[in-house]
Amino acid sequence: MSITIFSQGRNTSRWENALKERRPGLEVHIYPDTGPAEEVEFALAWNHPPGAFANFPNLKCISSTGAGVDHILRDPELPAGVQITRIVDEDLTQDMATFVTAQVLNHVRGLHRYKEAQRSHTWEQHRYKRTSDVVIGVMGMGVLGTHTAQQLSKLGFKVHGWSRSPKLMEGVGAFAGMEELPTFLEKANILICLLPLTKETADILNKDTLSKLPKGAYVINVARGEHVVDEDLIQMLDQGHLSGASLDVFREEPLPEEHPFWEHPLIHVTPHIASITNPASAVSQILENYDRMRHGESLINVVSKNKGY
């Protein structure tokens, strides 16, 4: 038995090396050099070639190399009986919370303005809000959203979370379901999207949703580009309803050179670097699932195909 890596546009050698270092003697294949198709039972995947998994009749488990699994579930030829798992990793979680916190503080303290002032040799002090005066809304209260919300709450921000079902925790207000979304949005000075990408959440950051935010609200998207309707976001910025946006994910990546996000003065673009899986810390859970699969045991971090997360 072996582990086969399916990936397009990513450096697979880091995963191969991490697996072999942790498990000397483990056979690792890189698609399309898989060896006999009937021997492929465990796959490691990110942005795999569509339809690739359909060629392996004995495939039992596909492990995403990240926290998201939408790139796997969107495959129309995904084998029905295969279990899907994802990465739940402390490094990945903390990296996300740190990045989001940095974007929040940059906005609240207006640090970008001082960079602009430095270029023109302008000495000018600006007023700023204190953390206790800012309400943050976190959309998506899974592992990443929960940890991010808790970290922001510890800094003194008023934090609310919105999710499919209520997630009760100290220091974070709980909102759930579409019926409570308008009230959640009306309170948020800063909106952070950490939702999984599903049929229900695609295009959720549209004109109708964004218009319910208070005037001057700031949007941070570190989930998936498909959550945002690009034209609607630009319209809300141009009309002055939103004060700005920090975007780390996009519908097409890399972001095309001609995309208006690049040049928009109120949009901060980063190239999907908010939280990147560290193979060295993640391979232990991958190998645990590999061993569980071999011994017929229940897997960890299994994804519900119906829910999409």
pLDDT tens track for 140-192: 999 999 999 999 999 999 999 999 999 999 999 999 999 999 999 999 999 99
Name the strands in the sheet holding 267-269, side by side, starting at the edge strand that comes first in the sequence: 172-176, 158-163, 135-139, 190-193, 217-221, 242-247, 267-269
Q: Quick one: pLDDT at residue 150?
A: 98
Q: At what angle do helices 279-294 and 13-22 cross, to 10 degrees?
A: 60
Asked if the peptide bond before residue 214 counts as cis, ω within 30 degrees of 0, the response is no
Q: What is the pLDDT of residues 90-138, one digit of tens each?
A: 999 999 999 999 999 999 999 999 999 999 999 999 999 999 999 999 9
Q: Is the dihedral of CA 135, 138, 141, 143 positive or negative?
A: negative
Number of domains in the chain: 2
Q: Would you list the DSSP string of 224-243?
A: -GGGB-HHHHHHHHHTTSEE
Whether residue 239 sits in one domain with residue 113: yes
Which residues form the catalytic set?
224, 272
Distance from first CA to last CA of the chain, Å, rounded? 28
Q: Which two tokens stand for residue 51?
A: 């339809």
| Residues 260 and 283 grouped into a single domain | no
Q: Are residues 96 and 58 in the same domain?
A: no
Q: Tell whether 167 and 221 lie within a shared domain.
A: yes
- CA distance linking residue 221 with residue 208, whole number of Å: 17
Q: Token pair of 105, please?
A: 């503080």
Please report the pLDDT score of residue 50 as a whole number.
96
- Give the integer Cα–Cα distance in Å for 81 and 58: 10
Whether 253 and 104 map to the same domain: the answer is: yes
SS3 28: strand
The contacts of residue 249 (CB under 8 Å, 6+ apart) are 221, 222, 223, 224, 225, 227, 272, 274
By residue range, what is the domain housing residue 40? 2-89+277-307
Tell me 260's DSSP state: T
CATH number of the domain residue 212 falls in? 3.40.50.720
Q: Does residue 162 share a domain with residue 234?
A: yes
Whether residue 143 is found in the same domain as residue 174: yes
CA distances from 210 to 19, 107, 142, 157, 219 (A): 43, 18, 22, 21, 9
DSSP 175: E
Whether residues 153 and 241 share a domain: the answer is yes
In this prediction the pTM is 0.96
Residues 100 and 192 in one domain: yes
Do residue 265 and residue 281 come from a single domain? Answer: no
**Same domain, yes or no, for 69 and 206?**
no
Quote the CA–CA distance of 185 and 169 in Å, as a whole number.
19
Question: Does residue 9 register a pLDDT over 80?
Answer: no
Same domain as 243, residue 104? yes
